[in-house]
Amino acid sequence: MQRFPVIGVLALQGDYESHARALEQVNAQPKMVRTAKDLEQVEGLIIPGGESTTFLKLLEREELFLPLQQFVRTRPTFGTCAGCILLAKRVTRPNQQSLGVLDATVERNAYGRQIDSEILTGPTSLPGGPLEMVFIRAPRIVELGNSVEVLAQREGSPVLVRQMNILAATFHPELSHAYGMSKNGDEHISDNEDEHPDRRVHRYFAQMVEEYSRQARSGASEAHKHPAQTTAADRE
């Protein structure tokens, strides 16, 4: 029987519904996360785009900042746009609080206002050729630690990176091939049901989650087979 990993989507603000649809399209089971209890029920988590300072206020209001910080230290987590900012150890323009797990310096609103948003295609190490990337008031990764792997670039700058259990993108993969221009030139979500969105990034993350879950199940199984032995000295 095929297994569908349960992946949470932080549903405090941002386009979390689009992430949920993307997860369904890669055979993952999405779950909206709004409380610390919700976090306990998921194997991985997506932190969507939005406004990072608003995210911080909502996390504090819902008493979710510390539980989320504990989760992202050890469990697969994918941050997009504002989510990438929240994961970074260092945030500039201006400096602000973050979850502090991704060894990177991220500059907020590096490419200008929302009117300067654009859709580009860039190189990636993911299978399938160049990757479409939707940038909306995007941050810029200006510095990376040695342990961070670059998976995609924009004009030589990293836009999709991985560090152990952390995946981060400065663009919106949930909107790839589903974002366009209306007749008056405004950006909008396409309602063309015949389109085939590019879900490589979400598929990659779902595979990360499944890999970590498989390792956890394997570790639990080995611990069950070989319970810790105690000696007389240990018992004294």
- Write out pLDDT tens, residues 222-232: 655 655 554 44
Region 182-193: mean pLDDT is: 39
This prediction has a pTM of 0.85
d(CA 173, CA 168): 11
Q: What is the pLDDT of residue 112?
A: 60
Percent of the chain at pLDDT above 90?
Answer: 72
**What would the two tokens of residue 66 be?**
């510390």
Active-site positions read 81, 172, 174
Q: What is the pLDDT of residue 232?
A: 47
d(CA 134, CA 116): 11
CA angle 205, 83, 215 (to 5 degrees): 30
| Tokens 């649809």 found at | 21
- Write out pLDDT tens, residues 148-162: 999 999 988 999 999
Q: What is the pLDDT of residue 184?
A: 36
- Write out pLDDT tens, residues 85-123: 999 999 998 899 999 999 999 999 776 655 457 899 999
Task: Yes or no: say if 152 and 160 are a contact pair by the CB < 8 Å rule.
Answer: yes
Q: What is the pLDDT of residue 226?
A: 58
Q: What is the pLDDT of residue 216?
A: 85
Region 186-204: mean pLDDT is: 66
Amino acid at site 83: G
Q: What is the pLDDT of residue 193?
A: 41
Task: Yes or no: say if 79 and 172 are a contact pair by the CB < 8 Å rule.
Answer: no
For the chain, domain boundaries: 6-235
Q: What is the pLDDT of residue 224?
A: 56
Region 125-146: mean pLDDT is: 93
d(CA 138, CA 134): 9
| Tokens 């069950």 found at | 224
Cα distances (Å, whole numbers) of residue 198 to 164, 178, 195, 234 = 24, 9, 10, 56
- Write out pLDDT tens, residues 53-82: 999 999 999 999 999 999 999 999 999 999
Domain 6-235 sits in which CATH superfamily?
Answer: Class I glutamine amidotransferase (GATase) domain (3.40.50.880)
Q: What is the mean pLDDT of the chain?
A: 86
User: Which three-class secondary structure string do you get for 48-106?
Assistant: CCCCHHHHHHHHHHCCCHHHHHHHHHHCCEEEECHHHHHHEEEEECCCCCCCCCEEEEE
Percent of the chain at pLDDT above 70?
Answer: 81
Task: Yes or no: say if 134 and 80 are a contact pair by the CB < 8 Å rule.
Answer: no
Long-range contacts of 159-163 (CB under 8 A, 24+ apart): 159/122, 159/133, 160/124, 160/131, 160/201, 161/102, 161/104, 162/208, 163/101, 163/102, 163/103, 163/104
